[in-house]
């Protein structure tokens, strides 16, 4: 009778789970994510217009004013700074999200040539 240690069994189970998980991910439709979602484009445009339009500016100013008032009450500038940062974050959130999620390689050639210049120092 062959005895298999508990550690060997756990390793085998983890290996099998990893193989099956990778196979499931590579064969599923979710592995090709990012190619659809056009039905939500109108929602994104609406939210972007709200945050960067008049409504977003009003909310941003209100957040900054509340931070300033609380800063005066607490005699601390930190709440004003937090309110100011939150207001800036709210206004710039669509731009930040577009930059992160919708990143494209429009400047890839410039980046690659600059990286080569930096890597060897000779510009070759």
Give the integer Cα–Cα distance in Å for 88 and 100.
17
Nearest to 51 by CA among 35, 63, 66: 63
pLDDT at 120 over 70: no
CA 94 to chain centroid: 11
Question: Residue 87: what pLDDT?
Answer: 85
Same domain for 26 and 45, yes or no, is no
DSSP states of the chain as a string? -----HHHHHHHHHHHHHHHHHHHHHHSGGGGTTS--GGGHHHHHHHHHHHHSHHHHHHHHHHHHHHHHHHHHHT-SHHHHHHHHHHHHHHHHHHHHHHHHT---TTHHHHHHHHHHHHHSS--
Same domain for 21 and 74, yes or no, is no
- Contact (Cβ atoms closer than 8 angstroms) between residue 79 and residue 67: yes
Same domain for 26 and 43, yes or no, is no
Same domain for 62 and 115, yes or no, is yes
Same domain for 87 and 59, yes or no, is yes
Domain that holds residue 3: 1-32
Question: Residue 27: what pLDDT?
Answer: 64
pLDDT at 8 over 80: no
Same domain for 27 and 60, yes or no, is no
Give the tens place of pLDDT for each residue, 30-78. 555 555 667 888 888 898 888 888 988 898 889 888 888 988 898 888 8
Q: What domain count does the chain have?
A: 2
Question: Residue 52: what pLDDT?
Answer: 86
Question: Residue 81: what pLDDT?
Answer: 87
User: Does the pTM exceed 0.85?
Assistant: no
Same domain for 9 and 45, yes or no, is no
Same domain for 118 and 63, yes or no, is yes
The number of beta carbons lying within 10 Å of the beta carbon of residue 9 is: 10
29/84: higher pLDDT = 84
């Amino acid at each position: 009778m062959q005895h298999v240690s508990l550690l060997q069994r756990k390793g085998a189970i983890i290996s099998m789970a990893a193989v099956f998980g990778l196979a499931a991910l590579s064969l599923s439709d979710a592995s090709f994510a990012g190619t659809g979602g056009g039905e939500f484009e109108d929602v994104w445009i609406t939210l972007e217009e709200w945050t960067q339009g008049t409504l977003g500016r009003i909310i941003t100013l209100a957040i900054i004013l509340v931070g300033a008032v609380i800063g005066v009450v607490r005699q601390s500038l930190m709440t004003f700074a937090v309110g100011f940062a939150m207001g800036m974050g709210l206004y710039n959130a669509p731009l930040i999200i577009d930059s992160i999620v919708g990143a494209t390689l429009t400047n890839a050639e410039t980046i690659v040539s600059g990286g080569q210049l930096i890597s060897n120092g000779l510009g070759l």
